[in-house]
Amino acid sequence: MTFQSMNEGAQFVATSRDILLQNQITVTIGTNFFEYRDLLEEERPQQVLGAPFDPEVHDMNAGNAFWLVAHDVDGLLMHTQASRLIDLKQKTLSGYMLKKFREFPPAIPDLDLKRSRYRASPGANRITGHVVYHGEVWMGGSPGQYRGSGLSTVLARYGLHEAMRRWDPDYIFGFMARTVAYKGFAERMGYMHNEPGALRWYRKGQDTPLEGFVSYLSNEDTRYLLEMPVVDVVDVPRPHQKAA
């Protein structure tokens, strides 16, 4: 029985839509990543499209990838995320990433890929099957307007539900900078497993690396998360009021 034919997440999605509607947030989901790249160039110029979702490099289509964006009441881009299905076949995530981690760099300039490294974490040694890479997570707005708010949590779980609805994967995973993970962002995103030391990215001419966590959910974890009422996982945000 697939996720699509079950009731997991139905209450969450209904409540989430109500919250987004009350806050005048409009969500758009698409699968054309050339269109997504153009949207980012126009509306998120400070951060270009991440390499894992570059349509010039990866063959992405309606069957294996989607992007999600949200706009506020003024039509301004306030959130992005994207997901991509990966069939690990007989490999574990650790085995896959030992050879492929350079295809999943952070969105920072001047990376020294030769010095950067991936270290297999315990969870990555167990993850296999059909997995979803979840990335491109960005929150806009003025300081304190959306980041750390209940809206970021609602939107993140909205994307997790969409991945489950489409593919019912064995696992969902992503990478997160240590500084962000230490602020509790992984928990706000809904990830139940967060393992440090997975990635170490170096920039050219610098000796201090950017450390990355691997964050992940099993299929069972995600179902459990999406069955929970929104009020049990987040303080429901009040509608945002424009300044007079």
At residue 189, the pLDDT reads: 86
Q: Encode pLDDT of 131-187 as tens digits.
A: 999 999 999 877 667 766 688 889 999 999 999 999 999 999 999 999 988 888 888
What is the rounded average pLDDT for all residues in the chain? 89
Structure tokens at 59: 């063959």
Q: Secondary structure of 49-109 in the HEC alphabet?
A: CCHHHCCCCCCCCCCCEEEEEEECCCCCEEEEEEEEEEEEEEEEHHHHHHHHHHHCCCCCC
**Tell me, what DSSP letter sits at residue 203?**
B
CA–CA dist 167, 30 (Å, integer):
15
At residue 138, the pLDDT reads: 93
Confidence of residue 7 (pLDDT cuts 50, 70, 90): low
CA distances from 110 to 52, 101, 114, 197 (A): 17, 16, 12, 21
CATH topology of domain 3-233: Aminopeptidase (3.40.630)
Domain-wise residue ranges, the chain: 3-233
Confidence of residue 16 (pLDDT cuts 50, 70, 90): confident
Q: Is the pLDDT of residue 9 over 70?
A: no
CB 239 within 8 A of CB 215: no
Query: Within a 10 A sphere around the Cβ of 90, how many other Cβ atoms?
Result: 7
